């Protein structure tokens, strides 16, 4: 019988922490989460928004990055996952931490 190797844990740096600054679309909502009709004066004020996202870098290609906001080690599940096109990304910084024992 062949023994399975233990699965790599998140803390083994399989999914490094990153900070991503990216540009997202903007739409006017009516407070219920539904898109809403808007008046002309308000229409002139809409602009794309810059998003600041921190999470685990799951995948990076020449076209996009996939970031998970949470990793459930026991269940081996990623949560709060978003795939961001590279053309929308302003900056990616890898985060490092030092322990002060």
Query: Could you tell me if residue 59 is inside a domain?
Result: yes
**The predicted structure's pLDDT at residue 33:** 60
Please state the domain count of the chain. 1
Residue 37 corresponds to which tokens in the numbers above?
A: 């009709």
Digitized pLDDT (tens) for each residue of the chain, 101 residues in all: 555 545 445 455 588 999 999 999 887 666 666 666 777 887 888 889 999 999 999 999 999 999 999 888 889 888 999 999 999 999 999 998 777 76
Q: How far apart are CA 17 and CA 90, in angstroms?
A: 17
Query: Could you tell me if residue 99 is inside a domain?
Result: no
**The predicted structure's pLDDT at residue 41:** 82
Q: Strand, helix or coil at 85?
A: strand
**The predicted structure's pLDDT at residue 66:** 96
In terms of pTM, does the model score above 0.75? no
Domain that holds residue 54: 10-23+50-94
**The predicted structure's pLDDT at residue 36:** 67
**The predicted structure's pLDDT at residue 50:** 95
Query: Could you tell me if residue 89 is inside a domain?
Result: yes
14: CATH:
2.30.30.100
**The predicted structure's pLDDT at residue 62:** 96
Using only the alpha carbons of the chain, give its radius of gyration.
Answer: 19
**The predicted structure's pLDDT at residue 8:** 47
């Amino acid at each position: 019988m062949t023994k399975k190797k233990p699965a790599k844990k998140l803390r083994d740096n399989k999914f490094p922490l990153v900070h991503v600054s990216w540009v997202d679309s903007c739409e006017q909502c009516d407070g219920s989460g539904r898109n809403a009709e808007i008046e002309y004066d308000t229409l002139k004020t809409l602009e794309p928004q810059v998003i600041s996202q921190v999470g685990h870098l799951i995948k990076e290609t020449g076209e996009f990055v996939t970031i998970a906001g949470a990793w459930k080690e026991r269940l081996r599940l990623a949560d709060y996952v978003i795939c961001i096109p590279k053309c929308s990304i302003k900056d990616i910084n890898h985060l490092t931490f030092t322990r002060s024992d």
